[in-house]
Amino acid sequence: MAEDTHGQQFKVGDVLRVSCPPAPTRVVHATPFDVTVEWPWAQIDPESELKWNGLRAIPRSEHTSEWNGLFQTTPDPRLLEVGSTCVVGVPETLVRIVDIGRYDPPIDVGWLPRPHTLLIVLPVDQPHHPDAEEEGDTIDLESAAPIEIELVARG
């Protein structure tokens, strides 16, 4: 089980309702595959070996049925160009926990706070492929982003 900062416990198989209120940001780089935005949450970790630059890529997909992860932009990332302003957040989404990563000491990801616990999640309607290397998205239980997590069903 994993525990969030409010003492709520989660386990693999749980179904969660997650969201994050949108925050304003700006596009600083764009490719046909993603847009890179100034990340409105978290601070650069000055002691990190990774030297995170304060930016995060948001995938663009031509297929509206394809899940691009929890964080989304408004307007749609396919409409954004370098210099565009937008908001980034997590629209209310139902996800299932497929794995939990625990780190002691907290993992060096380049920003603060360093995570102790990461929930690996997929949309409830997407099948889980345990052998896939880059499947799902993560929820950092210690995140600086104001992610709201509600347990909907116990796995």
Q: What is the DSSP string of 41-77?
A: S-EE-TT-SS---SEEEEE--S-TTS---S-EEES-G
Write the CB contacts of 89 (distance below 8 Å, at least 6 apart in sequence).
19, 20, 21, 22, 23, 71, 72, 74
Q: Using one digit for the tens of pLDDT, what is the confidence trace for 107-151?
A: 999 999 999 999 999 999 887 776 666 678 999 998 999 999 999
Tokens 């993603």, located at residue: 34
Q: What is the pTM of this model?
A: 0.87
Write the CB contacts of 50 (distance below 8 Å, at least 6 apart in sequence).
108, 109, 110
Please give the helix or strand (H or E) that residue 25 lies within, else none: strand 15-30
* 79 SS3 class: helix
* Tally of domains within the chain: 1
What's at 107, amino acid-wise?
Answer: I
Q: Using one digit for the tens of pLDDT, what is the confidence trace for 4-61?
A: 655 678 999 999 999 999 999 999 999 999 999 999 998 999 999 998 999 999 998 7
| Cβ atoms 147, 90 nearer than 8 A | yes
Residue range(s) defining the domain that contains residue 27: 2-153
